[in-house]
Amino acid sequence: MKIVVVGGVAGGATVASQIRRELPDAEIVIYEKGRDMSFANCGLPYYLGAEITDRSELTQASAATFKEQKEITVKLYHEVIAVEPAHKTVTILNHLTQETTEDTYDQLILSPGCQAVRLPQLADSDIAFPVRTLEDTDIIEQHIEQYDVKKALIIGAGYISLEMVENLKHCGLDVTLLHRNERLLKTMDGQFLPHLMNCLKEAAVNIQLNDEVDRIKGKTVTFKSGLSADYDLIIEAVGITPNTEFLAKSGIELNDKGYIVTDQYFQTSVQDIYALGDAIETFYMHTGQKTTVALAWGAHRAANLIAGNLAGHKQAFNGLLGTNIIRFFDHAIASVGISEKEAQECGAAHLSFDQYPQARYMPRSHPMHISVYYDPDTRQILRACFFGKMGVDKRVDVIATAIIAKMTIDDLKDIEIAYAPPFSSPKDIINMIGYRAK
Ligand code: FAD
């Protein structure tokens, strides 16, 4: 069997490795349009912030090691530009030689991910960069060193922009966060915005909301508000869009935003073509609603299931919960489940409260902010969001597990948490959600 994989980073490299374990004799070829394969996207902001100091930690595999250790061929700088299911072929553009070739497949797996949306106002700027790939990261690092960067403008309000704010502050830069409205971090419940603003202020980040870049000349940015300022570096983190243009004529169904539609087996609308990762439309485990979640867990789970399916152990995907977390200076912010907007639209009941995650009398104990949405009739937990200093990761993961186990909000009273003063209290936050739900 010949398996062709499009994309060689999180989903692509993982699915190829998993297939090799399941199918020792399969021929596996990965086409990756970029310079690097299998790098740790999630670590890039922390490398730029010098928290990760050894760059080699970001690249755990190479085309040479994949060939040597797994007998998988990886072709870098090779972009798949078309898929022809009728002939089971892909067309490839080699960016080094500009040559176009064809290859055949028995099974095709698409993991092309997403790309950063770029602002047209900054198209000609040589100080504005996205943070998506290791190549981007190298360029930013070089720019910071070469031009003795002191002032950075970070545009956008998602988790990548907040991670870049934190990391560039760690490097001692003067950082301004720019967003076109006041709704920072949409994965976080809106009621926590004042807490996030406090974190930004405490970290001495300049905040410029309800404003946008109008134009740039050299280092001088003029904003739509009429303000202008000079920056040495601009990070664009204003959203992502799926890398699926090459599928336009393939007959593979895409949704209205260009994401690849898949079923419970990650099969696309075309036989023998699977897809995984950031570029697919998938569904929530607990509500069945369609969604897109550009986070690593889904890509890894899909890789495992696709490999198993190709080997004949047919196992359906149960869906995901979009569980996410970020560290922001000395705080953590996490959520799980459908979005807050979706929860409000479906008439979910809501409860919120503050509670110490450890015994209150412990030094450094600090209240956590909790917000939970649930179905008032079935008592199903739909969404939870946590904002605090300690133990946020534990609470979000327990709620994710509870949702997967189909526990009701009332069942949370019965979760016997491990208690000692540094970790929780005899009635933990998780239990209190159950006690407080009306
Ligand atoms: P990618 O890993 O992006 O790989 C897609 C690859 O396909 C790319 O290398 C691209 O060049 C290649 N490609 C695209 N089109 C073609 C084509 N036509 N031909 C050949 N190759 C092609 N997730 C988390 O869960 N937690 C985090 O903390 C986190 N932090 C992140 C921080 C940053 C800065 C970034 C950028 C992402 C982060 N993510 C995080 C998201 C996570 O990295 C993605 O969910 C994951 O990489 C998705 O895997 P993928 O295979 O779909 O896409």
Domain range for 73 is 2-113+243-311
> CB neighbours (10 Å) of residue 45?
26
CB of 37 closer than 6 A to ligand 1? no
pLDDT at 256: 98
Same domain, 152 and 89: no
Where residue 159 falls (left for φ over 0; alpha for ψ -120 to 50; beta otherwise) is alpha
Crossing angle of helices 10-22 and 296-310, rounded to 10°: 30
CB 13 within 8 A of CB 37: yes
Q: Specify the amino acid at residue 42.
A: C
Q: In angstroms, what is the span from residue 24 Cα to ligand 1's centroid? A: 26
> Which of these three, 239, 257, 285, is where a domain ends?
239
CATH number at residue 412: 3.30.390.30
Q: What is the pLDDT of residues 215-262, one digit of tens each?
A: 999 999 999 999 999 999 999 999 999 999 999 999 999 999 999 999
Tell the residue number behind the tokens 């912030």, with chain if given.
49
Within a domain: residue 411? yes
The residue among 282, 311, 340 that closes a domain is 311
For atom 41 of ligand 1, which residue has the closest CA?
Answer: 295
- Whether the pLDDT of residue 327 is over 90: the answer is yes
pTM of the predicted protein model: 0.97
Q: How many CB atoms lie within 10 A of CB 76?
A: 18
Assess whether 381 and 402 both reside in one domain.
yes
* Residue 288 and residue 400 in one domain: no
Evaluate whether 185 touches 201 at the Cβ level (below 8 Å).
no
Question: Could you tell me if residue 324 is inside a domain?
Answer: no
Residues recognised as catalytic: 42
45 and 90 part of one domain: yes
- Within a domain: residue 154? yes
The verdict on 104 and 253 lying in the same domain is yes
- The predicted pLDDT at position 418 comes to 97
Q: Domain tally for the chain? A: 3
303 shares its domain with 342: no
Strand partners, 129: 235
Is the confidence at residue 60, as pLDDT, over 90?
A: no
pLDDT in tens, 88-97: 999 999 999 9
Confidence of residue 17 (pLDDT cuts 50, 70, 90): very high
Residue-level pLDDT at 302 = 98
- pLDDT mean across residues, the chain: 98
133 and 233 assigned to the same domain: yes
Same domain, 102 and 132: no
Q: What percent of the chain has pLDDT above 70?
A: 100
Ligand 1 centroid, distance to 437 Cα (angstroms): 38
Do residue 129 and residue 73 come from a single domain?
no
The secondary structure of 277-319 as a DSSP string is GGGEEEEBTTT--EE---SHHHHHHHHHHHHHHHTT-------
Q: Which atom of ligand 1 is nearest to the CA of 79?
A: 19
Q: 96 and 50, same structural domain?
A: yes
Q: What 3-state DSSP class applies to 190?
A: helix
Q: Residues near 157 by Cβ (< 8 Å), separated by ≥ 6?
A: 177, 179, 183, 184, 185, 186
Alpha carbons 293 and 288: distance in angstroms, whole number: 14
Cβ-based neighbour number of residue 285 at 10 Å: 17
| 170 CA from centroid of ligand 1 (Å) | 25
Task: Measure CA 410 to chain center.
Answer: 31
ipTM above 0.95, yes or no: yes
Q: Cα dihedral sign for 99, 100, 103, 107?
A: positive
DSSP-derived secondary structure letter, 329 = T
> Is 295 a domain residue?
yes
Average pLDDT rounded to a whole number, residues 120-124? 97
β-sheet bridge partners, residue 221: 216, 229
Cβ–Cβ < 8 Å for 227, 214:
no
* CB-ligand 1 contact for 131 (6 Å cutoff): yes
Closest ligand 1 atom to Cα of 115? 3
- CA dist 52 and 48 (Å) reads 8
pLDDT tens, residue by residue, 259-301: 999 999 999 999 999 999 999 999 999 999 999 999 999 999 9
The residues that bridge with 155 in the sheet, in sequence order, are 178, 236
For strands 324-328 and 331-337, give the pairing: antiparallel
CATH of the domain at 158: 3.50.50.60
Asked if residue 335 belongs to a domain, the reply is: yes
Going by alpha carbons, the residue nearest to atom 49 of ligand 1 is: 10
* Per-residue pLDDT tens over the stretch 171-211: 999 999 999 999 999 999 999 999 999 999 999 999 999 99
Q: Is beta strand 381-388 parallel, antiparallel or unpaired with respect to 368-374? A: antiparallel
Q: Which residue has a Cα nearest atom 16 of ligand 1?
A: 112
In a domain, 323, yes or no: no
Q: Is residue 167 part of a domain?
A: yes
By the 8 A CB rule, do 160 and 328 touch? no
| Burial (CB count <10 Å: 0-12, 13-18, 19+), residue 4 | buried
- Verify that 189 and 234 share a domain, yes or no: yes
Site of tokens 């639209």: 345
Q: How far apart are CA 70 and CA 5, in angstroms?
A: 15
Q: Are 346 and 429 members of one domain?
A: yes
pLDDT at 308: 97
Dist. CA 133 → ligand 1 center (Å)? 8
Type of residue found at 208: Q
Once rounded to an integer, what is the mean pLDDT over residues 414-426? 97
- 161 in a domain, yes or no? yes
**How is 403-437 classified by DSSP, letter by letter?**
HHTT-BTGGGGG------TTT--SS-HHHHHHHH-
Residue 248 Cβ < 6 Å to ligand 1: no
Distance in Å, CA 299 to ligand 1 centroid: 9
pLDDT tens for 94-109 read 999 999 999 999 999 9
| Residue 162 near ligand 1, beta carbon < 6 Å | no
Measured in residues, the chain has a length of 438
CB atoms within 10 A of CB 436: 16
Q: What pLDDT band is residue 135 in, cutting at 50, 70 and 90?
A: very high
Q: pLDDT band at residue 45, thresholds of 50, 70 and 90?
A: very high
Q: What percent of the chain has pLDDT over 90?
A: 99
pLDDT of 184 reads 98
DSSP 39: B
pLDDT at residue 212 in the model: 98
